[in-house]
Amino acid sequence: MDNREEIREFLTSRRAKITPEQAGLPSGSRRRVPGLRRSEVAALADMSVEYYAKLERGNLAGVSPAVLEAVARALQLDEAERAHLLHLAQAADGSDALTRRRRRSTRQWTPHRSLQWTLDAITAGPAFVRNGRLDILAANQLARAFYTDVYATRHNQANLARFNFLDPASRRFYPDWDQAADVGVAILRTEAGRNPHDKELHDLVGELSTRSDEFRTRWGAHNVRHHGTGTKRFHHQTVGELTLAFEGLEMAAEPGLTLTIYTAEPGSPSEEGLRLLPSWAATQEADATEPSTSS
């Protein structure tokens, strides 16, 4: 994930997504490239074609915030894309000190006791902490029961991206599998811009790119997003269909980590399904700890 290459591909992909009509420009009849030409982006950003071409080649070091904002406006970037461009520029400028501080090995990270107490106090829905690589780092009982397929996947290390792309069970668990796949890759791509020195992220992307055509195609699209709130559909192996709302909260005490809580509409079948999970999970745990007997 070379920074210059990342910048080039991100800006090129965003330029290809904007039609002349969307930018308020005449479309013409002889366009050899999808989306806007470099000259058109340069004109919209009020800069020379030569200067914009330099930026698109990956030379963002030392570029002012005003220039980055002009490019973002010209390419009609959304909030997540603007933040991604800023992170790419910070990495190119060598000013990503916060990124370097995030280079922790989360495989050795354990939640402090009060965090686990907080998660365990949430009893109406699954609650868990993840990082930008989609590793589940801590969870309450409902989340462990909810993600039983994820935890059961061998060599998965409770990683939602590996589960999504390498485990056939994910096709059942996510009824809207394509949407879940798109979101997962966009989160990873966002993290790659925010934390470009994360070796474990590099390794994960390399593994998934090698083993999954679906992942490789999505990774090449360079889409990013903020994943803060919304609704998702799931199919749990025991309680069946669940439609859950979620809230993702950035953790101020742990930069780069997100606390996610799923809830169901009061009185809905999904709420009833969530209520069945704790008793099912308790039965599973009891069966797992019960000593075997031999005849």
Phi, psi of 61 (to 5 degrees): -60, 130
Question: Is residue 86 scored above 80 in pLDDT?
Answer: yes
Pair of tokens at residue 224: 């990013």
Q: pLDDT band for position 285 (50/70/90)?
A: low
What per-residue confidence (pLDDT) applies to 104?
Answer: 45
Backbone dihedral angles phi then psi of residue 166, each to the nearest 5 degrees:
-115, -10
What pLDDT is recorded for position 181? 98
CA torsion angle 89 91 97 101 (round to 10): 130
The answer, yes or no, to whether residue 280 has pLDDT greater than 90, is no
Q: For 165-257, where are the E strands, in sequence order?
A: 229-236, 240-250
Q: Would the pLDDT of 259 be above 90?
A: yes
Mean pLDDT of 142-148: 94
Least confident of 29-43, 44-58, 189-203, 242-256: 29-43
Q: Which residue has the higher pLDDT, 295 or 114?
A: 114
Query: Can you tell me the mean pLDDT for 252-268?
Result: 93
Q: Which residues pair with 58 in a beta bridge?
A: none
> What is the number of other CB atoms lying within 10 angstroms of the CB of residue 266?
7
- Summarised one tens digit per residue, pLDDT across range 2-35 is 689 999 999 999 999 999 999 998 877 677 777 9
Please report which confidence band the pLDDT of residue 109 belongs to, taking 50, 70 and 90 as the band edges.
Answer: confident
pLDDT at 288: 58
Smallest Cα–Cα separation from 93: which of 169, 167, 217, 196? Answer: 196
The model's pLDDT over 182-229, given as tens digits with 9 standing for 90+, comes to: 999 999 999 999 888 899 999 999 999 999 999 999 999 999 988 889
Does 252 have pLDDT greater than 90?
Answer: no
pLDDT at residue 158 is higher than 70 = yes
SS3 content of the chain, % helix, strand, coil (to 5): 55, 10, 35
pTM: 0.88
Q: Which of 64-68, 217-221, 280-284 has the lowest mean pLDDT?
A: 280-284
**Confidence at residue 99, expressed as pLDDT on a 0 to 100 scale:** 47
Query: Has residue 103 got a pLDDT over 60?
Result: no
Phi, psi torsion values for 42, nearest 5 degrees: -60, -45
Phi, psi of 147 (to 5 degrees): -100, 35
Q: Could you tell me what percent of the chain has a pLDDT over 70?
A: 90
Helix (H, G, I), strand (E, B) or coil at 286: helix
pLDDT of residue 95: 57
Please state, rounded to an integer, the average pLDDT across all residues of the chain.
Answer: 89
**Residue 290: which pLDDT band, with cuts at 50, 70 and 90?**
low
Mean pLDDT of 138-163: 91
Whether the per-residue pLDDT at 295 is higher than 60: the answer is no
pLDDT at position 294 is 47
What domains, with CATH codes, occur in the chain? 3-95 (1.10.260.40), 113-288 (3.30.450.180)
Amino acid at residue number 226 = H
Among 112, 160, 156, which Cα is nearest to 133's?
A: 160
